[in-house]
Amino acid sequence: MKTLRYFFLIVDISFIAYWLITALHLIPAEYLYNDYTNPILTNWNWSFFPLDMLVSGSGLYSIYLFRNSNPKWQVFALMSLIFTSVSGLQAISYWVLAHDFDMSWWIPNLFLLIYPLFFLPNLVKKLSNKN
């Protein structure tokens, strides 16, 4: 958790900030994805909100549990990592299908897809050893 908590803090706070910024329409138009004003794409973007809040909630809660020496932190960390990777995968899948290769959207979503893969094996191993 020493390293993982920093990833959780960065990702979880960034998700919360992104959704606040998005809700308040603070992102300059030149940084928005293609067809941002299309209602279908707006709905697609907002469809990530529940998943991203699960990422943030489970990640921040796992840090809280860890700080309070509650072993359940591992279960919430595992959930957060899986939710994070799924969020990244869903976005990348869309961009592939749309043939939209804007690196400003690909890089953060590839990060979300890939970074959990470095932590998942060890976390799964720890949890399976307990059972």
Domain assignments of the chain as residue spans, ordered by start: 4-130
Return mean pLDDT, the chain: 93
CA–CA–CA angle 29, 35, 36 (5° rounding): 50
Fill in the amino acid letter for 73: W
CB 94 within 8 A of CB 44: yes
Q: Count the Cβ atoms, other than its own, within 10 Å of residue 88.
A: 21
CB 109 within 8 A of CB 92: yes
Among 14-18, 24-28, 50-54, which is the least confidently predicted range? 24-28
Q: How far is 60 from 43, CA to CA, in rounded Å?
A: 26
Q: Count the Cβ atoms, other than its own, within 10 Å of residue 73.
A: 20
pTM for the model stands at 0.91
CB 88 within 8 A of CB 66: no
70-116 residue pLDDT tens: 999 999 999 999 999 999 999 999 999 999 898 988 999 999 999 99
Q: How far is 108 from 99, CA to CA, in rounded Å?
A: 17
| DSSP designation for 27 | S
